[in-house]
Amino acid sequence: MRSGARLVEVGTTNRTRAVDYERAVSEHTALLLRVHQSNFRVVGFTERAGIEELANVARQRSVPLLDDLGSGALVELHDEPTARDSLAAGADLVCFSGDKLLGGPQAGIVAGRADLVEQLRRHPLHRALRIDKLGLAALEGTLLLYLEPEQALAEVPVLRMLRAEPSSIRARAERLASAVGGDVEETVGRVGGGALPLAELPSFACAIQEELVGALRAHEPPVVGIVRDGRLLLDCLTLDDEEADAVAAAVRACR
């Protein structure tokens, strides 16, 4: 409101075409914006304008195109768009989160045309909203890993978990079950956090008594499982070996 900008929605819930953007452009239009669907997908009779099409509209009307990517994948992950692909397809700017799929500290990132980024940097709001020095150092350390994509896939926790082999998850669940007298149960993990809403990750859990749910949540550190069919499932998808040992100790302490 303070900027004086007015958001004009185009298209419909399930079908939005480039021509819908083109018809909405006027002499007052300052920017074309496409926003990535967060934590949901529309299926069935759907149509969505591609970045290449919108870039053509933006160039013809001499306005910049901003693609809001949401979670900010920098490597190929299922059907999530990457910043590189969006910019290569013609977007002038992309914005995305520094945490979530990127795996760094909570932050907002804008990348793209240098002149537009500089214009944003000079805006008075930048000084009020910019990331602090500690967060910037953490973000830099995370981004440096992406210079070698395989290194990022191995060292960024969220990426490592997304690519975890089911056999290694099962082995961890078996070790945890052996330590606490539980059973191994096959389950499915989901990404959450606005990204990859349809992705299902094969996983294994250690199943123990449901009665322990309250005591484990109150434990320090808390252990949060999933109650299903009268049992408490401790999913091993997001545990490393050291954390699995800590969970085993918590279960023994709560009995």
Q: Tell me the pLDDT tens digit for each residue of 72-81.
A: 899 988 888 8
Query: Is residue 108 predicted with pLDDT exceeding 60?
Result: yes
State the Cα–Cα distance between residues 92 and 58, nearest whole angstrom: 9
Q: Using 50, 70 and 90 to split pLDDT, how confident is the model at 39?
A: confident
Taking only the tens place, the pLDDT of each residue in 109-136 is 999 999 999 999 999 889 888 999 999 9
- Label residue 2 by pLDDT band (50, 70, 90): low
Q: Are 14 and 46 in contact (CB under 8 A)?
A: yes
pLDDT of residue 41: 82
Query: Which pTM does this prediction carry?
Result: 0.85
Lowest-confidence region among 93-97, 141-145, 194-198, 223-227: 194-198
Q: What is the mean pLDDT of residues 194-215?
A: 91
Contact status, residue 197 vs residue 41, Cβ threshold 8 Å: yes
**Cβ 142 vs Cβ 156: under 8 Å:** yes
Give residue 152's pLDDT: 93
Q: How confident is the model at residue 77, as a pLDDT?
A: 87
Token pair for residue 137? 């150092």
Question: 172, 237 in Cβ contact below 8 A?
Answer: no
How far is the C-alpha of 237 from the C-alpha of 90, rounded, in Å? Answer: 37
Residue 71 has a pLDDT of 86
Q: Residues 158-172: what's their mean pLDDT?
A: 94
pLDDT at 199: 83
Q: For the purposes of burial, counting CB atoms within 10 Å of the CB of 80, is it exposed (0-12), middle (13-18) or buried (19 or more)?
A: buried
All domains in the chain, ordered by first residue: 15-157 (3.40.640.10), 164-254 (3.90.1150.180)
- State how far the Cα of 232 lies from the Cα of 239, in Å rounded to an integer: 16
Strand partners, 96: 70, 109
Helices and strands in the chain: count of H runs, count of E runs: 11, 10
Average pLDDT value for residue range 151-161? 92
Q: Is the pLDDT of residue 182 over 90?
A: yes
**Per-residue pLDDT at 79:** 80
pLDDT range class, residue 195, cuts 50, 70, 90: confident
Which stretches of 146-228 are DSSP H helices?
Answer: 149-155, 157-162, 166-180, 213-218
Nearest Cα residue to 177 out of 225, 244, 254, 255: 244
Is 70 exceeded by the pLDDT of residue 1?
no
Indicate the pLDDT class of residue 193, thresholds 50, 70 and 90.
low
pLDDT at 30 over 80: yes
Mean pLDDT value across the chain:
93
